[in-house]
Structure 1
Amino acid sequence: MKEYNILFLDIDGTILKPDDTIENSTKAAIAEMKRQEIEVVLATGRPIHEIADLGEEPQISSFIGYNGALGIYEGETIFAEAMNAEDVRYILDVAKQNGDEVVLYTNNKNYLTDLESELVKSFLHQFHLTQNAIFTEKVINDILGLTIITTGKLGHERYQFSSGIHLSQVNVEGMQHCFDVIRDRVNKGVGVELLLKKLGIERESSIAFGDGMNDKEMLAYVGVGFAMGNAHPELFQHASHKTTSVMDSGIYNGLKSLGLIG
Structure 2
Amino acid sequence: MSYKIVFFDIDGTLVNEQKLVPADTVKAIKELQETGVEAVIATGRAPYFFGPLAQELGINSFVSLNGAYVVYQGKPLYKNPIPRSSLEALVAYSSEKNHSLVFEGSEAFFANSESHVFVEDSVLSLRVELPGYDPDFWKKEDIYQVFLHCEAHEEHLYEPKFPDLKLIRWHEKAMDVLPAGGSKAKGIEAMLKMLGIQPHEAVAFGDGLNDKEMLEYVGLGIAMGNSHKELLPFADYVTASVDEGGIRQGLHYAHLIHA
TM-score, with normalisation over the residues of structure 2? Answer: 0.92
- Among residues 170, 173, 176, which one is paired with 1:177 in the alignment? 173
- Among residues 187, 190, 195, which one is paired with 2:186 in the alignment? 190
* 2:215 alignment partner in structure 1: 219
CA distance change for structure 1 residues 8 and 200 in 2, over 3 Å: closer, same or farther? same
Contact 2:19 2:127 in 1 (8 A): no
SS at match of 2:21: coil
The worse-fitting range, judged by mean Cα deviation, of 156-165 and 81-90 is 156-165
Kindly provide the CA deviation profile for residues 229-248 of structure 1, in whole angstroms up to 9, marking residues without a partner as x. 11111111122221121222
Distance 2:88 2:36 in 1: 44
* 2:198 alignment partner in structure 1: 202
Distance 2:236 2:23 in 1: 25
SS at match of 1:244: coil
SS at match of 1:40: strand
Once the two structures are TM-superposed, the CA of residue 16 in structure 1 deviates from its matched residue by 0.8
Kindly provide the CA deviation profile for residues 181-217 of structure 1, in whole angstroms up to 9, marking residues without a partner as x. 2334321001001000001112111000011111111
Contact 1:148 1:178 in 2 (8 A): yes
* 2:40 alignment partner in structure 1: 41
* 2:30 alignment partner in structure 1: 31
1:235 corresponds to 2:234:
no
Once the two structures are TM-superposed, the CA of residue 87 in structure 1 deviates from its matched residue by 1.6
SS at match of 1:25: helix
* 2:149 alignment partner in structure 1: 149
Distance 1:60 1:177 in 2: 31
1:117 corresponds to 2:113:
no
The worse-fitting range, judged by mean Cα deviation, of 187-196 and 82-91 is 82-91
Contact 1:230 1:245 in 2 (8 A): yes
What amino acid is aligned across from residue 121 of structure 1 in structure 2?
E
* 2:60 alignment partner in structure 1: 61
Contact 1:13 1:246 in 2 (8 A): yes
Task: List gaps (5 residues or longer) in structure 2.
Answer: none
The worse-fitting range, judged by mean Cα deviation, of 101-110 and 157-166 is 157-166
Once the two structures are TM-superposed, the CA of residue 223 in structure 1 deviates from its matched residue by 0.7
Which consecutive aligned stretches of 4+ in structure 1 deviate over 6 angstroms post-superposition? none
Contact 1:52 1:61 in 2 (8 A): no
Task: List gaps (5 residues or longer) in structure 1.
Answer: none
The worse-fitting range, judged by mean Cα deviation, of 96-105 and 16-25 is 96-105
The worse-fitting range, judged by mean Cα deviation, of 139-148 and 57-66 is 139-148
Once the two structures are TM-superposed, the CA of residue 254 in structure 1 deviates from its matched residue by 1.0
1:250 corresponds to 2:246:
yes
Distance 1:55 1:138 in 2: 27
The worse-fitting range, judged by mean Cα deviation, of 182-191 and 206-215 is 182-191
Distance 2:77 2:241 in 1: 31
